[in-house]
C-alpha cells in the first residue's frame, strides 16, 4: 500500500455539470499514494467542486472518478462507506456540527466505529486537539464560540480523527496566522512521513504550498492545465502560475 | 488489503509486526485487545522494529498497555517513536466530572426563572415595537412596505386554501353531530343558533389561530433563527439597518392585520359546510339558514370573533419573533426554539381565549 505505484485518486475525462453550466470538462488527474498535491486555481474555478466529486457528493456528467482504485459511483453502498472511512475531508467553511461541542465533533467519527472505549476516544481526541495546537479545555466550547481560525483547526482535527490514508483539505490555512500555518505544514509533513498520507489540498497560500506540496495541479479553463512536481510547475510560465507567484510574493512580504 | 497487526511473544520479547493503524486494528480489535490485556506484557522487552506503520490510535493503545510509562527495553524506529511520544505527552485525561443531577425543587426553580426571563424579553420586545412604531410615525419613509406586503402574502394569501379546507370540514362535522341530537328533540331549527354562535364566536378564531401558529409562527421563528445562525442579523446591524424594524415589525404588523381576515374567511366557509350538512341531514334550505342567522346571532359575536383574530395574530407573531431571536447559533437550539414557539403560541391563544370568554360573557348572547 505504501509504494508510490498505486493511484489513490484517478479522474479520467471527468465532466461536471451544475445546472446547465460545465464546471469541469474532460478533466484528467492522477494522484499517487504519498503525494501531497496542492490544487490551485482562480476563485470559482471549481476546486471545491472537484473535491466534492472525489467524495462522491456529485455525480460526473461524463468520465469517471476512481478512489483507491475503485469507481465510487458504481460501488456497493457498504463498500462506498468503507472507502469514505479511509479519507478525511476538511470543508472550506469547517462544516462542524453546530449542535455538538468541539470534543464531540472530533469524537463523532471515532464513536461511529462503535468499537473504541471511552478512555481511548478521550485520549485520541485530546491528542488530535494537541496536534492542531488546541487545549483540552477547548473541547467544551461550541462551534459558534470559536474564532475563524479555531474552526479551521477543529475541522482539521476532525478530518484527522480516523487516521485517514487520504486527506482532502479545502483551504486549510485560510484564517490561520503565519506561525500556525507553518506548524500546520510541519504537522502534515510529519504525518505524511510516518503514515504515507496522501493529501490533496486547495490553497491560495504560496508559503504553505512551497513548504508542503510535493506536486501542484493547476485548475483553469475547466480542466487541469498543469500537473507535476512543485518545482517544475512553479517554474512554468502558465499565466495563472505566474500570477500566483507574483501575488504570493506580495502576500508573503 | 494491508498486512494486519500481529503480536507475538518470542523468547520473552514482545514482537509487533504488520500495520498498526486504526483501519487495520478495527476488524480484529477484540483479539488484539485480548492479547494486550492483563498487564502481563508491560514488563517485557518490546520490539516494534518490524511495524510498518504506527498511527496515533495504535500509539494510544500501546501507551495504555504500558501503563503510561516507557518499557525498560524498547526497540522502535525513530519515526514511530515520534508517534509514541506524541501519545505520551498527553497528560492522562482527567475524567470529566459528571454534572450533578439537580433535584426537582432546583429544576422547578430553573423553570420559573426561565419563565420570568422569557416574560421579561417578551415585554422588552413589545416595548421595542412601540418605540419602532413611534419612530415610523415620525419617519414614514422608513416604513418597510415591501416586507409587510411579503408577509401578508405569505401568512395570509397562501393560508387561504388550508384554512378553507379545515374550516369546511369542521363545519360539516359539527353540523352533522348536532343534527343527530337536535332531531331527537325535534329542535331542528336551532342548528342555526348552535352553528352561528359556536363558529363565529369561538371555533373560527381558535381554529385559524392554531393553523396559523403551526404554519406561519413556526416559519417566522425558523427564519429569524436561521438568520441568527448564519449571522445575517449581525450583517443587517452592520449595515445600519434596524433588525427590529426590518425583520420583526413587518411580521407583527402583517400577521395582526391578516388574521381577522383569515378568521372571517374560515368562519364563512365553516358556516357554508354547516349549511350543506344541515340541508342534507335536516332538509333546512340555504335561504332559511341565512335569514335566521341574522336573527340568531347578534352582530356582537362577529365583532368578538374578529377582535380575537386580531389579538391572536399579534400573539402568534410576537411569540414567534421572540423565540426566533433567542435561537443560539446551532441547529439544536433552532429546532428547540421552533417547537417552543408553536407550543407557547397555541397555549397562549387558548389562555387568552378563556379570558375573552369571561370578559365578554354578557355580550352577544341572543335573548329568546
Ligand atoms: N451548489 C451549487 N449550485 C450552483 N452552482 C454551484 C454550486 N456549487 C458551486 N457552483 C458553481 O461552481 C463554480 C465552482 O465553484 P467552487 O466552489 O468549486 O469554486 P472554488 O474553485 O472552490 O472557488 P473558491 O476558491 O472561491 O472557493 C462556481 O462558479 C459556483 O458558482
Ligand atoms: Mg472553494
Chain B partners within 8 Å of A124 (Cβ): 56-57, 60
Residue range B28-37: mean pLDDT, rounded: 82
pLDDT band at B94, cuts 50/70/90?
low
Surface-to-core class of residue A77, CB atoms within 10 Å of its CB (0-12 exposed, 13-18 middle, 19+ buried): exposed
Is A1 a residue whose pLDDT tops 50? no
Nearest CA to ligand 1 atom 2: A18
Please tell me which residue of chain A has the smallest CA distance to B62. A120
Closest residue to A194, CB basis, from B79, B93, B328: B79
pLDDT attached to residue A105: 93
DSSP state of B203: I
C-beta atoms of B60 and A143 within 8 A: no
Q: Which of A171, A159, A174 is nearest to A201 (CA)?
A: A171
A18 lines ligand 1 (CB under 6 A): yes
* Of A100-114, A169-183, B19-33, B41-55, highest mean pLDDT: A100-114
Q: Which is more confidently placed, B121 or B55? A: B121
C-beta atoms of B61 and A196 within 8 A: no
Chain A partners within 8 Å of B60 (Cβ): 120, 123-124, 127
Instruction: Report how many Cβ contacts below 8 Å link chain A to chain B.
Output: 79
Ligand 1 centroid to residue B329 C-alpha, Å: 25
pLDDT band at B207, cuts 50/70/90?
very high
Q: Which of B18, B56, B363 is nearest to B197 (CA)?
A: B363
Question: Residues of B near A (CB-CB distance < 8 A)?
Answer: 1-2, 21-23, 26, 29, 52-57, 60-61, 63-64, 79-80, 82-83, 86-87, 89-90, 93, 229, 328-333
Assign B284 to helix, strand or coil: coil
pLDDT attached to residue A169: 92
Of A39-43, B45-49, B164-168, the range with the lowest mean pLDDT is: B45-49
Inform me whether the C-beta atom of residue A190 falls under 8 Å from chain B C-beta atoms. Answer: yes
- The nearest CA of chain A is from the CA of B324 a distance in Å of 17
Of A29-43, B56-70, B347-361, the range with the lowest mean pLDDT is: B56-70
pLDDT attached to residue A250: 45
Of A101-110, A222-231, B268-277, B359-368, the range with the lowest mean pLDDT is: B359-368
Helix (H) or strand (E) holding B20: strand B13-20
Ligand 2 centroid to residue A50 C-alpha, Å: 9
Residue range A61-66: mean pLDDT, rounded: 91
Under 8 Å between Cβ of B217 and B319 = yes
Which ligand 1 atom lies nearest to the CA of residue A52?
Answer: 18
Q: Which residue segments constitute the domains of chain B, with CATH numbers given?
A: 6-97 (3.30.750), 124-359 (no CATH)
Q: Which of A53, A95, A44, A84 is nearest to A221 (CA)?
A: A44
pLDDT band at B156, cuts 50/70/90?
very high
- The nearest CA of chain A is from the CA of B322 a distance in Å of 21
pLDDT band at B39, cuts 50/70/90?
low
- CA–CA dist A157, A92 (Å, integer): 14
- The nearest CA of chain B is from the CA of A98 a distance in Å of 5
* Of A219-223, B45-49, B62-66, B274-278, highest mean pLDDT: B274-278
Closest residue to A123, CB basis, from B23, B55, B93: B93
* Beta strands A21-32 and A36-41, pairing class: unpaired
Instruction: Round to the nearest angstrom and report the end-to-end CA distance of chain B.
Output: 91
pLDDT attached to residue B367: 67
A48 lines ligand 1 (CB under 6 A): yes
DSSP labels, B75-115: E--HHHHHHHHHHHHSPPPPPPPPPPPPPHHHHHHHHHHHH
B268-324: per-residue pLDDT in tens?
A: 999 999 999 999 988 899 999 999 998 888 999 999 999 999 999 999 999 999 999
C-beta atoms of A131 and B86 within 8 A: yes
Inform me whether the C-beta atom of residue A130 falls under 8 Å from chain B C-beta atoms. Answer: yes
Is B91 a residue whose pLDDT tops 80? no
Closest residue to A120, CB basis, from B23, B52, B61: B61
C-beta atoms of A162 and B22 within 8 A: yes
pLDDT attached to residue B7: 82
Give, for ligand 1, the residue of A48, A55, A169 to mutate: max count of ligand atoms closer than 8 Å to Cβ: A48
Is A2 a residue whose pLDDT tops 60? no
Can you list the alpha helix ranges (DSSP code H) found in B143-285? 145-155, 160-185, 191-197, 204-212, 218-229, 232-238, 243, 249-282
pLDDT attached to residue A253: 35
pTM: 0.81
Buried b (16+ CB within 10 A) or exposed e, B98-119: eeeeeeeeeeeeeeeeeeeebe
* pLDDT above 70 as % of chain B: 96
Is B1 a residue whose pLDDT tops 60? no
Is B26 a residue whose pLDDT tops 90? no
pLDDT attached to residue B344: 95
Residue range B40-45: mean pLDDT, rounded: 75
Helix (H) or strand (E) holding B294: helix B286-296
Q: Which of B48, B65, B90, B333 to mutate to test the interface with A (most CBs of A within 10 A)?
A: B90
pLDDT attached to residue B147: 92
ipTM for the complex? 0.80
C-beta atoms of A127 and B56 within 8 A: yes
- CA–CA dist A224, A74 (Å, integer): 24
C-beta atoms of B93 and A162 within 8 A: no
**Ligand number with the minimum distance to the CA of A43:** 1
Is A251 a residue whose pLDDT tops 60? no
Q: What share of chain A is helix, strand, coil (3-state, %, to 5)?
A: 45, 25, 30
A222 lines ligand 1 (CB under 6 A): no
Nearest CA to ligand 1 atom 18: A46
Mean pLDDT over the full length of chain B: 89
Residue range A43-69: mean pLDDT, rounded: 90
B142-151: per-residue pLDDT in tens?
A: 899 999 999 9
Which ligand 1 atom lies nearest to the CA of residue A46?
Answer: 18
A44 lines ligand 1 (CB under 6 A): yes
A43 lines ligand 1 (CB under 6 A): yes
A137-184: per-residue pLDDT in tens?
A: 899 999 989 988 889 889 999 999 988 989 999 998 887 888 888 888
pLDDT attached to residue A252: 41
Can you list the alpha helix ranges (DSSP code H) found in chain A? 47-55, 77-85, 102-112, 118-131, 148-160, 178-195, 206-212, 230-235, 239-252
Q: Which of B88, B91, B328, B330 to mutate to test the interface with A (most CBs of A within 10 A)?
A: B330
* pLDDT above 90 as % of chain A: 36
Which ligand 1 atom lies nearest to the CA of residue A219?
Answer: 21
Nearest CA to ligand 1 atom 5: A18
**Ligand number with the minimum distance to the CA of A52:** 1
Query: How many of the other CB atoms lie within 10 Å of CB of A84?
Result: 17
- CA–CA dist A89, A160 (Å, integer): 8
Please say whether the dihedral angle defined by the alpha carbons of residues A129, B67, B22 and A57, taken in this order, is positive or negative: negative
Amino acid at each position: 500500500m505504501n509504494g508510490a505505484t498505486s493511484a489513490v485518486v484517478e479522474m479520467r475525462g471527468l465532466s461536471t455539470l451544475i445546472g446547465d453550466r460545465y464546471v469541469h470538462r474532460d478533466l484528467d488527474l492522477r494522484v499517487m499514494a504519498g503525494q501531497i498535491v496542492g490544487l490551485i486555481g482562480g476563485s470559482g474555478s471549481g476546486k471545491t467542486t472537484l473535491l466534492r466529486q472525489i467524495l462522491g457528493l456529485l455525480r460526473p456528467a461524463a468520465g469517471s472518478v476512481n478512489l483507491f482504485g475503485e469507481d465510487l459511483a458504481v460501488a456497493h453502498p457498504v463498500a462506498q462507506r468503507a472507502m469514505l472511512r479511509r479519507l478525511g475531508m476538511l470543508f472550506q467553511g469547517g462544516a462542524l456540527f453546530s449542535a455538538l461541542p468541539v470534543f464531540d465533533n472530533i469524537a463523532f467519527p471515532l464513536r461511529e466505529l462503535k468499537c473504541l472505549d471511552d478512555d481511548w476516544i478521550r485520549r485520541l481526541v485530546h491528542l488530535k486537539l494537541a496536534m492542531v495546537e488546541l487545549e483540552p479545555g477547548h473541547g467544551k466550547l461550541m462551534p459558534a464560540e470559536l474564532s475563524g481560525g479555531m474552526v479551521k483547526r477543529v475541522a482539521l482535527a476532525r478530518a484527522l480523527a480516523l487516521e485517514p490514508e487520504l486527506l482532502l483539505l479545502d483551504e486549510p490555512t485560510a484564517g490561520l496566522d503565519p506561525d500556525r500555518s507553518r506548524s500546520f505544514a510541519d504537522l502534515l509533513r510529519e504525518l505524511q512521513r510516518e503514515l504515507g498520507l496522501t493529501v490533496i489540498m486547495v490553497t491560495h497560500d504560496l508559503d504553505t504550498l512551497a513548504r508542503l506540496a510535493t506536486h501542484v495541479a493547476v485548475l483553469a479553463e475547466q480542466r487541469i492545465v498543469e500537473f507535476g512536481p512543485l518545482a517544475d510547475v512553479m517554474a512554468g510560465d502558465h499565466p495563472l502560475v505566474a500570477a500566483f507567484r507574483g501575488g504570493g510574493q506580495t502576500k508573503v512580504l | 488489503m494491508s498486512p494486519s497487526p500481529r503480536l507475538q511473544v518470542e523468547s520473552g520479547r514482545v514482537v509487533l509486526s504488520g500495520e498498526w493503524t486504526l483501519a487495520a486494528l478495527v476488524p480484529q480489535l477484540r483479539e488484539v485487545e485480548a492479547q494486550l490485556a492483563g498487564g502481563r506484557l508491560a514488563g517485557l522487552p518490546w520490539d516494534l522494529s518490524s511495524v510498518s506503520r504506527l498511527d496515533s490510535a495504535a500509539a494510544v493503545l500501546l501507551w495504555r498497555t504500558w501503563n503510561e510509562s516507557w518499557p525498560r527495553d524498547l526497540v522502535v524506529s525513530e519515526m514511530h517513536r515520534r508517534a509514541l511520544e506524541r501519545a505520551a505527552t498527553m497528560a492522562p485525561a482527567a475524567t470529566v466530572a459528571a454534572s450533578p443531577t439537580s433535584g426537582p425543587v432546583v429544576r422547578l426553580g430553573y423553570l420559573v426563572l426561565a419563565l420570568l426571563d422569557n416574560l421579561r424579553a417578551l415585554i422588552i420586545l413589545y416595548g421595542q415595537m412601540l418605540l419602532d412604531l413611534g419612530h415610523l410615525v415620525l419617519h414614514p419613509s422608513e416604513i418597510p412596505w415591501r416586507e409587510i406586503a411579503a408577509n401578508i402574502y405569505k401568512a395570509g394569501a397562501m393560508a387561504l386554501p388550508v384554512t378553507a379546507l379545515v374550516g369546511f370540514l369542521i363545519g360539516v362535522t359539527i353540523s352533522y353531530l348536532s343534527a343527530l341530537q337536535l332531531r331527537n328533540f325535534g329542535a331542528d331549527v336551532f342548528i342555526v343558533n348552535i352553528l352561528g354562535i359556536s363558529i363565529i364566536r369561538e371555533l373560527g378564531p381558535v381554529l385559524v389561530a392554531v393553523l396559523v401558529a403551526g404554519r406561519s409562527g413556526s416559519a417566522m421563528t425558523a427564519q429569524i433563527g436561521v438568520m441568527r445562525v448564519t449571522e445575517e442579523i449581525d450583517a443587517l446591524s452592520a449595515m445600519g439597518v434596524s433588525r427590529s424594524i426590518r425583520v420583526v415589525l413587518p411580521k407583527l404588523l402583517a400577521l395582526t392585520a391578516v388574521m381577522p381576515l383569515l378568521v372571517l374567511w374560515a368562519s364563512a366557509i365553516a358556516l357554508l359546510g354547516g349549511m350543506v350538512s344541515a340541508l342534507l341531514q335536516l332538509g333546512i334550505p340555504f335561504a332559511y339558514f341565512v335569514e335566521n342567522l341574522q336573527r340568531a346571532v347578534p352582530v356582537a359575536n362577529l365583532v368578538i370573533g374578529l377582535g380575537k383574530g386580531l389579538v391572536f395574530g399579534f400573539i402568534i407573531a410576537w411569540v414567534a419573533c421572540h423565540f426566533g431571536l433567542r435561537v443560539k447559533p446551532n441547529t439544536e437550539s433552532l429546532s428547540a426554539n421552533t417547537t417552543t414557539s408553536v407550543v407557547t403560541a397555541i397555549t397562549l391563544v387558548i389562555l387568552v381565549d378563556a379570558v375573552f370568554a369571561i370578559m365578554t360573557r354578557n355580550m352577544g348572547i341572543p335573548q329568546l
